[in-house]
């Protein structure tokens, strides 16, 4: 198991203090953290010569907003029983999660260079036994969301106040287990549960609507009994508002409309970048573009 980074924890706490303050400074802080995470992701995938760069870049702003301004978590006590739970159901985008955790002090930033190396804790899918901040192992699509429902149900049964958040890919919603989980959460009025869909409209090999139509997606969630919030998934301010607690007593679904490959122009909205690896010139171009 990786260990926490004291210097990183101090930075995390100072950042959370600033993000909790004045609006302009808060959004500037989140935007800078998103840039730092995206740059880390590009370097990680370059070093490993493996990864899912398109989805990593689309989900970054969601992860940064959660860990930077929403989740009640403490990297010094990653197993605190009263912590909020976060599950990345689209586990193939582990690089973005690892980078966000490292920039939040859960483990040293230097560990990111070991991404997917032999015996590295930072393998291709998150492992709760190896990486602090990971709640459950994910990878097979459609598994993380049902676990999140279980976490929220456990909170309700035990009378605990923690919230549970889960990020799903939009292509992942073609798995029927997700809709069984959605029905269950609504049936039990799990108002402490928030599901966030990374709606980048692309999956491996094709657009989601070519593979199996998801729209009208917001209406689908509403028909399953959820409180729905449809937002720009790259707007930190709108994400902060959308990730507030339920106002209806129902579970919350956030449809976060994103761009696959966000931040790197030659990757954005291109289906081939689901798990394509940039060459050395493309890596440099991406890092330069992300530093502007």
pLDDT digits (tens, 9 = 90+) for 30-89: 999 999 999 999 999 999 999 999 999 999 999 999 999 999 999 999 999 999 999 999
With a cut of 80, say whether residue 23 has pLDDT above it: no
With a cut of 80, say whether residue 99 has pLDDT above it: yes
- Dump the DSSP string for 47-89: HHT---HHHHHHHHHHHHHHHHHT----TTSTT-TTSPEEEES
Angle CA 71–76–77, to nearest 5: 70
pLDDT band at 19 (very low <50, low <70, confident <90, very high): confident
pLDDT digits (tens, 9 = 90+) for 71-81: 999 999 999 99
CB 62 within 8 A of CB 256: yes
Between the alpha carbon of residue 82 and those of residues 1, 77, 233, the distances in Å are 21, 10, 27
Residues in the chain: 292
Residue 207: is it exposed, middle or buried by C-beta count within 10 angstroms (0-12/13-18/19+)? Answer: middle
pLDDT digits (tens, 9 = 90+) for 177-226: 999 999 999 999 999 999 999 999 999 999 999 999 999 999 999 999 99
Average pLDDT over residues 242-259: 98
Between the alpha carbon of residue 246 and those of residues 8, 46, 64, 88, the distances in Å are 31, 40, 21, 20
| pLDDT value for 100 | 98
pLDDT digits (tens, 9 = 90+) for 111-127: 999 999 999 999 999 99
Distance (Å, rounded) from C-alpha 258 to C-alpha 200?
A: 5
| pLDDT value for 264 | 98
User: Is pTM, for the whole model, over 0.95?
Assistant: yes
Distance (Å, rounded) from C-alpha 252 to C-alpha 144?
A: 16
């Amino acid at each position: 198991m990786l260990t926490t980074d004291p210097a990183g924890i101090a930075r995390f706490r100072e950042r959370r203090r600033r993000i909790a303050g004045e609006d302009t400074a808060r959004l500037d802080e989140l935007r800078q953290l998103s840039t730092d995470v995206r740059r880390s992701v590009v370097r990680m995938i370059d070093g490993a010569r493996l990864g899912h760069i398109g989805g990593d870049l689309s989900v970054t702003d969601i992860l940064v907003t959660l860990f930077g301004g929403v989740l009640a978590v403490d990297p010094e006590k990653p197993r605190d029983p009263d912590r909020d739970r976060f599950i990345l159901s689209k586990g193939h985008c582990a690089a973005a999660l690892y980078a966000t955790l490292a920039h939040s002090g859960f483990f040293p930033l230097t560990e990111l260079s070991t991404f997917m190396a032999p015996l590295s804790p930072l393998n291709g899918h998150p492992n709760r036994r190896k990486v602090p901040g990971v709640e459950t192992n994910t990878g097979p699509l459609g598994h993380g969301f049902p676990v999140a429902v279980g976490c929220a149900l456990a909170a309700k049964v035990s009378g605990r106040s923690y919230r549970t958040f889960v990020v799903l890919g939009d292509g992942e919603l073609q798995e029927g287990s997700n809709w069984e989980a959605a029905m269950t959460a609504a049936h039990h009025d799990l108002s402490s549960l928030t599901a966030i869909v990374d709606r980048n409209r692309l999956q491996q090999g094709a657009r989601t609507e070519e593979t199996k139509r998801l729209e009208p997606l917001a209406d689908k969630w509403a028909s399953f009994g959820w409180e729905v919030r449809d937002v720009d998934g790259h707007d930190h301010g709108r994400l902060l508002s959308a990730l507030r607690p339920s106002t209806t007593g129902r579970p919350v679904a956030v449809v976060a409309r994103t761009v696959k490959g966000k931040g790197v122009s030659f990757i954005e909205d291109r289906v081939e970048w689901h798990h394509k690896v940039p060459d050395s010139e493309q890596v440099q171009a991406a890092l330069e573009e992300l530093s502007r």
